[in-house]
Amino acid sequence: MNALFVFVGINLFLWGWVWVVPVMVVFVNWLPGIARGAAPFPGIVVIKRVDEDKSQTLLHEFKHQEQMKKYSPLAVAVYLGWYYGKGLLLGKKIGELYDANPLEVEAYSSMYKGKKLPKYIKVNSEK
């Protein structure tokens, strides 16, 4: 029972975090594979410095932050673990799982809708 309270408490804290704290963007020189950006934690977006079209990548990663607001950070993490774990156990390749992931499909569709970037905090320089 105590573990359940801890789990619910952490989830509520993280969910509140994504609603209250502005997104911080960190620019890095390297990300694994072909990644141009990532939203690894609530309120944090990581963007590769050499990305020519940072605004499109930012829109994509901000959509992931919105998804964390909508579903809760832990719900997104649990879903992704289940989705990729099940797919890999069924013998699917990571690339095809990524392309069919509903959260990624939604994030990619937001990249080209002419949306304005929301306000965010730059933690370091883009260059």
CA-CA distance, 100 to 108, in Å (whole number)? 11
For the chain, the domains span 2-122
Encode 15-38 in three state secondary structure. HHHHHHCCCEEEEECCCCCCCCEE
Kindly state the average pLDDT of the residues 13-21: 86
Model confidence band, residue 69 (pLDDT cutoffs 50, 70, 90): very high
pLDDT single digits (tens) 37-66 = 999 989 999 999 887 778 889 999 999 999
pLDDT at 6: 85
pLDDT at 63: 94
Model confidence band, residue 85 (pLDDT cutoffs 50, 70, 90): very high
- Report yes or no on whether pTM surpasses 0.85: yes
The answer for residues whose C-beta is within 8 angstroms of residue 98's C-beta and 6 or more apart is 104
* 1 has pLDDT over 80: no
pLDDT at 111: 80
Averaged pLDDT score across all residues of the chain: 89
pLDDT at 17: 85
